[in-house]
Structure 1
């Protein structure tokens, strides 16, 4: 696997947020349990699958031009309605509460300290499919600290559309090859790579792992490992 040297030729880090820095499934599970406390574990997992399927499908429809852009809080509310109906819950207030679960995601144990360490060496840019409003709440809840937090809402589409990654390139004022995209989703890194960004895969239990044909610049088990590999 290719690795950057201890003195990487990068000037800023761009971070995926959902999954990479926060445990998205854990936060949605907690929201489902608040919606219907009597559900058993297997039913919660089934409902979590419904939530994730709806989000992924609708975001892909936006990227593919099959649906006009809708901010993440709109799609989250749709997913909450799907889950509530499947759970037999008919309470508008409870559905609205579940829709906010995507803003109450716990950080991974290494996230906060890892970002602080990396920020001593590099500007940090968050780049998320979450809307501006959702990203504000998510950052505050998880204790994420950025030099700049960017939402796909500004591109009116979702990752992996190239327009989202261009937001980071444009705001940094740097050539793409001077940016290191950090994610636990191989699909996310492939899309960033196609635009010329350097790439770093960080392993998480909820991520999309690389396949044999992937060639990312850095592979790390956590943010501390990432910091070591790029000389932070």
Structure 2
């Protein structure tokens, strides 16, 4: 077992530090209080499919880059149209991604890690979204970066380069933390160390993944790093 020797930590935000589906579900329920749980879940899936599909089209060059605020507006319109909601409700729904609850361990865990390492947020969300989301959820940062600065979405290599360049560190001195294995694979390809944090809404690793740290939550991650951490691959 080898020590995880790093100089800074880079965090994914959506899903890793905040419960994105819960926030969007709450906003969808406000469209029509009579919606049942299965209907809300179906509308959430409609939202997610649009976002993921459009990000994929952008990555494949089939659509020019559009920021997350644009994609959220489009997703909100599709959901509102599906339930016959008033057009005025679209804007409020589109901004639901700025009102997401943190996981129970997030605020204390992030604060604890920030006392030992510089902590950098790296998200596909827009700069305005990240600013409002971080303030509302109580997220502490030393640096906050949006993928829109690269004109791309993770796992595009240009997004991870934002953190490398902004930190002034070599990639192997950075630890990327995410609940999404696809995100960590993208960071790993750019030479960053990687820590998977389990979340109910994440993308779990496969047996073929070899990340540097596997943690139950941020408390467990901090405990492992306090103890030097271990390479589990």
Superposition TM-score tier, normalisation by shorter sequence: over 0.9
Contact 1:4–1:217 (CA under 8 A) maintained in structure 2: no
1:26 positional shift:
0.1
2: distance between equivalents of 1:218 and 1:76? 32
2: distance between equivalents of 1:108 and 1:181? 18
The two structures have a TM-score, normalised by structure 2, of 0.96
1:128 positional shift:
0.3
1: distance between equivalents of 2:109 and 2:125? 21
Cα offsets for 1:77-134 (capped at 9, x unmatched): 0000110111121x22211100010110000000000001001110000000001111
2: distance between equivalents of 1:60 and 1:47? 20
1:4 positional shift:
5.2
Name the residue aligned to 1:108. 103
Q: What is the count of residue pairs matched by the alignment?
A: 227
Please tell me whether residue 124 in structure 1 is matched to residue 119 in structure 2: yes
Residue segments in structure 2 that go unaligned for 5+ positions in a row: 228-233
Q: 1:87 aligns with which of 59, 62, 83?
A: 83
Residue segments in structure 1 that go unaligned for 5+ positions in a row: none
Partner SS, residue 226 of structure 2 = coil
Please tell me whether residue 186 in structure 1 is matched to residue 181 in structure 2: yes
**Greater relative CO (CA pairs within 8 A, separation 6+):** 1
Name the residue aligned to 1:210. 205
Contact 2:80–2:87 (CA under 8 A) maintained in structure 1: no
1:147 positional shift:
0.1
Please tell me whether residue 44 in structure 1 is matched to residue 17 in structure 2: no
Instruction: Give the 5 Å matches for 1:10-89.
Output: 10-89=6-85
1:141 positional shift:
1.2
Q: 2:157 aligns with which of 145, 159, 162?
A: 162
2: distance between equivalents of 1:169 and 1:63? 21
Partner SS, residue 199 of structure 1 = strand
Cα offsets for 1:142-175 (capped at 9, x unmatched): 1111000000010001001000000000000000
Contact 1:161–1:191 (CA under 8 A) maintained in structure 2: yes
Alpha-carbon distance change, 4 to 23 in structure 1, aligned in 2, over 3 angstroms: farther
1:36 positional shift:
1.4
1:140 positional shift:
1.0
Superposed CA RMSD:
1.0
Runs of 4+ in 1 over 4 A off after TM superposition: none
2: distance between equivalents of 1:58 and 1:74? 10
